[in-house]
Amino acid sequence: MTWNLYNRLIEGYDWSYDSDGVSGERLAKRLDAIAQIGLTKEAGSHRPGFSLEEKEAKELVAQWMREAGLDVRHDGAGNVFGRLAGKNDEKPALLSGSHLDSVPNGGHFDGPLGVLAALEVAEAWRETGFQPEQPYEVVVFTDEEGSRFNGGFHGSEAVVGNVDIETKLNLTDYNGADFSEVLEEVGLSVDGYVGAERSAEEIEMFVEVHIEQGKQLERENLPCGIVTGIAGPCWLEFTFTGEAGHAGNTPMEDRKDALVAASEFIGAVNTLPAGISETAVATVGKIDNTPNGVNVIPGSVTLYVDIRDIFKETRDELVTQVLAMADKVAEKHNVSVSHDEKMRVAPVPINKDLQKLLAASSQERNITPYYLPSGAGHDAMIIGAKWPVAMLFTQSKDGTSHNPDEWSDLNDCVQPIHVLKDFLEKASDG
């Protein structure tokens, strides 16, 4: 029997949510059609950025855009834009959308839901004869997840113009192909990629619908929530260096055990965020122990700390405290420590007025406004460096994401589309 996402989605769907031109059935069919592209044997998604599978999915969405009456164009980064003319088409555009690429063996809602939610608004306007005051664009960004080059947001970075092309040209993918070769594989070029930037005057704001990838909305029994800010990550690499030695012949008091020091540091890192802010987090997710022998005292340990918050000041304060803790622990255990900052991205707080507008649109649908931060990065984080952004989260079952068990009920997927539609109509009138 052929795997079918549509049948599972439509089971138990409340057809009363089909109103004002919004169709849950159409959304379910389209989620299923995208899921079939790059479908894995575990019933997951495999559409890496800049892959032929991602390109096929984008072409399918471009076809749906045309059928909805949108003017479609592809830019030099592979981003797809479907434009609906506004009554005053000279005004800057309202943008909404997300991405279609996936992590290896990922889920079927992370990215595609945001793209199809934005498209469903255009479909609803076409069916009800509504035209916004200003142009509206549905956007599909290229390579958000970053599984191709261990770093994503290539499409949205090109739109913003945040492109360090020399750094990108030095990237190689999991097959050993460099950035320019990968672009050529899908019909793109380096010059086209660099030329994909859009001027500030073209766009008024961007709003993204995305699955929560957490459990807060499920606990509150709400279909969607309003994002207050997108956390900016800082990645730090630490190396604790002690002295390797024989596990049997070296007395306990005469050891310089790098792993003991690193272990105390890891435990301390876990306690620091609570003293900074309620939205700050810090995670040690990768560790390398050398020489990693059963009967050898660890001489060197390298680990990575991922530090995030939605506010730059508190995120950076947490970074400072983590660095100080590393020095303190190293001194206590008579080892040395060094660090290297791998990445520091500015957090993006969401404009309070846009949050209020989303709250008003939620209340229009009898949905209690619920506010929550985004710990994960999204294209909205990149776009937010140049234009105002807003985000709606959709409830995720068990908070599961980035694997085939990722799931959002169709009822919970359709309701934020109504909120998005109302929000965009209010924003256009304003």
Domains of the chain: residue spans and CATH: 5-230+347-429 (3.40.630.10), 232-344 (3.30.70.360)
Cβ partners under 8 Å of residue 206, min gap 6: 95, 96, 139, 380, 383, 384, 387, 388, 389, 390
Count each helix (H run) and each strand (E run) in the chain, helices first. Answer: 14, 15
Classify residue 373 by burial, with Cβ atoms within 10 Å: 0-12, 13-18, 19+. buried
Q: Cα–Cα–Cα angle for 413, 419, 423, nearest 5°?
A: 145
Residue 191, phi-psi category: left (phi > 0), alpha (psi -120 to 50), beta (remainder): alpha
Q: State yes or no: 378 annotated in a binding site.
A: no
What is the reported pLDDT for 377?
A: 85
What is the reported pLDDT for 1?
A: 45
What is the reported pLDDT for 430?
A: 64
Cβ partners under 8 Å of residue 63, min gap 6: none
β-pairing verdict for 136-141 and 281-290? unpaired
| Cα separation, 12 vs 365, whole angstroms | 20
Q: State yes or no: 154 annotated in a binding site.
A: no
| Cα separation, 262 vs 162, whole angstroms | 36
pLDDT along the chain (430 residues), means of 10: 89 96 98 98 96 98 98 98 97 98 96 98 97 98 91 94 91 93 96 97 98 97 97 94 95 96 98 96 95 97 96 96 98 97 89 96 97 92 95 97 96 98 91
Classify residue 411 by burial, with Cβ atoms within 10 Å: 0-12, 13-18, 19+. middle
209, 114 Cβ separation under 8 angstroms: yes
Residue 105 carries which side chain, given as an amino acid letter? Answer: N
Q: State yes or no: 99 annotated in a binding site.
A: yes
β-pairing verdict for 371-374 and 224-230? parallel
Q: What is the pTM assigned to this prediction?
A: 0.89
Residue among 409, 418, 421 at smallest CA distance from 13: 409
| Cα separation, 148 vs 130, whole angstroms | 40
315, 349 Cβ separation under 8 angstroms: no
Cβ partners under 8 Å of residue 394, min gap 6: 109, 113, 209, 210, 211, 212, 217, 223, 224, 408, 412, 413, 416
